[in-house]
């Protein structure tokens, strides 16, 4: 089932804009309500930018009991996903100067 969700997310994201490259907002909005495993699987793929750069997984806790999963997006830009206790993504924040015009 996670593989099917990943496929649907990938297809859905590809159809988001005429340029075939979704904006950060389109990408982030598409994963709200999804299990964080979907993003983790994308990041762990050998062909991902994160894997090719030797990215090490980053997470941190929030005071409200949720936690954050950090995904590298592009140089100087990370997406910080807020994840609840059921491992569902409930929000996201682009962080870094490379995210500015996305």
Asked if residue 9 has pLDDT above 60, the reply is: no
Tell me which residue range forms the domain holding 23: 2-99
User: Rounded to an integer, what distance in angstroms lies between the CA atom of residue 2 and that of residue 4?
Assistant: 5
CA separation (Å) from 2 to 35, 38, 56, 94? 9, 7, 22, 25
Mean pLDDT across 67-95: 95
Mean pLDDT of 11-29: 67
Q: Number of folded domains in the chain?
A: 1
What is the per-residue pLDDT across 35-52, written as a single tens digit (0 to 9) for each?
Answer: 999 999 988 898 888 888
Q: Residue 41 corresponds to which tokens in the numbers above?
A: 């699987």
On the question of pLDDT at 18 being above 60, the answer is no
Residue pointed to by tokens 């995210």: 99
Q: Can you give the pLDDT at residue 41?
A: 92
Distance CA 10, CA 6 (A): 6
């Amino acid at each position: 089932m996670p593989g099917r969700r990943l496929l649907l997310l990938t297809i859905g994201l590809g159809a988001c804009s005429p340029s075939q490259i979704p904006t950060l907002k389109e990408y982030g909005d598409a994963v709200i309500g999804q299990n964080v495993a979907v993003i983790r699987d994308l990041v762990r793929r050998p062909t991902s930018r994160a894997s090719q750069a030797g990215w090490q997984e980053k997470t941190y806790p929030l005071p409200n009991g949720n936690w954050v999963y950090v995904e590298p997006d592009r140089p100087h830009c990370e997406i910080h996903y807020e994840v609840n206790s059921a491992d569902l993504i409930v929000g996201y924040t682009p962080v870094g100067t490379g995210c500015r015009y996305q």
